[in-house]
Amino acid sequence: MIIGITAKGKNLDEPLDPRFGRSQYIVLADSESMEFEVFENPGESAPGGAGIKAAQAIVDKDIDALITGNVGPNAFSVLSKANINVYTGASGTIRKAIDDFKAGLLDEPDAPTVKAHNGMNR
């Protein structure tokens, strides 16, 4: 399964970024092999619509699930329509977030976890 994880750095031992739309990077990791690639989040420096830009980038990568700290309403809508499961409640490193996902320790919200524009100026 390919999982997208919002990240503050470019490897599995970097911290997860709890912001979805404004995270610096998104790590795409295979949950079985732990092979991964990293891309810069196009929403990070966007003047507006950061969550939608990040969500569309993830949809374009054809992943199965997303792990992040929080997700706002616009991004949640885009991801839901693309049948990408969103998992929240992760913290620590990217590697730990993947391990927590595999152990079933993360939340799978059925609605956005924050209001729009929550990640701005943080």
Query: Is 72 inside a domain boundary?
Result: yes
Query: Is 91 inside a domain boundary?
Result: yes
CATH at 70: 3.30.420.130
Query: Is 23 inside a domain boundary?
Result: yes
Query: Is 113 inside a domain boundary?
Result: no
Greater model confidence, 74 or 113: 74
Query: Is 110 inside a domain boundary?
Result: no
Greater model confidence, 120 or 81: 81
Query: Is 116 inside a domain boundary?
Result: no
Q: Which residues form the domain of 97? A: 2-102
Q: What is the mean pLDDT of residues 3-21?
A: 95
Domain count, the chain: 1
| pTM (two decimals) | 0.89
Residue 2 CB-density burial (10 A; 0-12 exposed, 13-18 middle, 19+ buried): middle
Is residue 44 helix, strand or coil?
coil
Query: Is 97 inside a domain boundary?
Result: yes
* DSSP E strand stretches across the chain: 2-7, 25-30, 36-40, 65-67, 85-87
**What pLDDT, in 10s, does the model give residues 97-111?**
999 999 999 999 987
Query: Is 96 inside a domain boundary?
Result: yes
